[in-house]
Amino acid sequence: MNKFPKSAYVHIPFCHRRCFYCDFAVIPLGNNVDTLKGFGSKTVKEYLHFLFKEILSIKHKSTLSTIYIGGGTPSILHPKQIKELIDLFRENYGIDYGAEITMEVDPASFNQDDLNGFINAGINRFSLGVQSFNNQILQKSGRRHLREDAEKSCSWLKKAYISDLIKSWSLDLIQNLPLSGFKEWQEDLKKAIMFSPPHISIYDLNIENGTVFKKLDNLGELQFPSDEEAIRNTESTHLILKSSGYSRYEISNYCLPGHQSRHNKVYWKGLGWWSFGQGSTSSPWGEKLTRPRVSGEYKEWVIKQYKQNLDSTLTNENFAYKELDEKIMLGLRLKEGLDIHKVFKEQNWENNKLDSNFSKLIEEWEKFLESGLLVRKGNRFFLSDPKGMELSNQILISMFKWWDEIN
């Protein structure tokens, strides 16, 4: 492991409004926000002041090979503000030649001039949150954009990629949203492929506590795809994307050759990363640190950490990845899986304990190995595609059961 992380995540919490499925740490600012000099600019500038202060609080660091600006809706910010953020990293951390610098964008929050501004600021990869191209589904999900907005955004990004102005871009869809039956989902997939995004992320809808969807679901007012439709949706995702040249390299992520998300693989492989901003979680050396989700508490935390030197409160002595169950879960999500024995050795367990825990885990997984949902090559384990990835929860539940028992 590197002495200091070479990846950084930055959380921009601002949105025009909160989507009905969202439980992230976000700050809705309304439709008329102007982050540079108009409505909402004072709130944004105050947040950026504390965000930059936190970034500068790290004294010991390496140059960065990936930066991911997420949210929220980072594209609410003006390109000048994005440039200031990237320049801050360049001047105080350094950015490797060929670094992947990703920014999440929302179809209703930027235009072509903004896109060019973000590119000139240093962004070379975009993640576009389309979620659906169906206006009824978008409206039912609390999305602000329409199909026409998504199509225009895809066209701009496709043109920028073909013109070599950016290295890659990703299109995000959410599977099994209300009203998204088999026919609607097929149409969404085919529409996405029409724009040839080098990377596609397909997320399953989760109903989280505190969301509008949770309240509506409790009232019985949401019309979700039937179980049969949901299964057909999942199967069609694999077949349609595979036949279109996309490789599934992680449970929720597909790409054309050479377009895997370098930044996200840092998380999935349990490598160290910095994280900055309200509600974000860093893991420089295996020990996780989550910032407060509420603005006032986050600002107080930054002031305290700045005085104490943030990185002096983190240590890489006697490194051991404490969330071993999480590391196994994330590693299994990848197409290549992970070497369980190697992961165990990182725990610094004595040989007897290592061998005993390894044997117990194999016992838990024996039925999945026999059914072909899980595949073993030496000490490397990975999910079969598509069945193992589609039924991964069964395998992960058995692993969490094992983790509870050995602890």
Residue 396 falls inside a structural domain: yes
Please choose, from the candidates 346, 345, 333, 348, the residue with its C-alpha nearest in 3D space to the C-alpha of residue 381. Answer: 333
Residues 167 and 240 in one domain: yes
Q: Examine the fold and report which residue of 251, 268, 285 is the final residue of a domain before the chain moves on.
A: 268
Q: Examine the fold and report which residue of 220, 246, 268 is the final residue of a domain before the chain moves on.
A: 268
Residue 303 falls inside a structural domain: no
For 216-240, what is each residue's pLDDT tens digit?
A: 999 999 888 888 888 888 889 999 9
Residues 249 and 133 in one domain: yes
Residue 230 falls inside a structural domain: yes
Contact 77, 44 (CB under 8 A): yes
CA distance 160 to 140: 31
Q: How many domains does the chain have?
A: 2
Please choose, from the candidates 269, 251, 284, 247, the residue with its C-alpha nearest in 3D space to the C-alpha of residue 331. Answer: 269
Q: How far apart are the first and last CA of the chain?
A: 26
Q: What is the CATH number of the domain that holds 198?
A: 3.20.20.70
Residues 211 and 354 in one domain: no
CA distance 151 to 194: 10
Q: Which residues of 254-277 are buried (b: 16+ CB within 10 A; e: fewer)?
A: bbbeebbbbbbbbbbebbbbbbbb
Residues 78 and 13 in one domain: yes
Mean pLDDT of the chain: 92
Residue 296 falls inside a structural domain: no
Tokens of 23: 């439980």
Residue 279 falls inside a structural domain: no
Q: Please give the residue range of the domain that contains residue 351.
A: 324-406
Please choose, from the candidates 263, 355, 338, the residue with its C-alpha nearest in 3D space to the C-alpha of residue 64. Answer: 263
Residue 316 falls inside a structural domain: no
At residue 311, the pLDDT reads 67
Prediction pTM value: 0.93
Residue 282 falls inside a structural domain: no
Residues 260 and 353 in one domain: no
For 317-357, what is each residue's pLDDT tens digit?
A: 444 455 788 889 999 999 999 999 888 888 888 889 999 99
Residues 340 and 222 in one domain: no
Strands (E), 145-209: 168-175, 199-204
Q: Examine the fold and report which residue of 250, 268, 286 is the final residue of a domain before the chain moves on.
A: 268
Residue 149 falls inside a structural domain: yes
Q: What is the CATH number of the domain that holds 348?
A: 1.10.10
Q: Which residue type occupies 201? A: S
The contacts of residue 272 (CB under 8 Å, 6+ apart) are 1, 2, 4, 5, 7, 266, 283, 284, 285, 286
10-residue block means of pLDDT along the chain (407 residues)?
Answer: 82 94 92 89 96 90 95 96 98 96 96 97 98 97 96 98 98 95 94 98 93 93 86 90 95 96 92 93 83 94 83 54 80 92 85 92 94 94 91 92 90
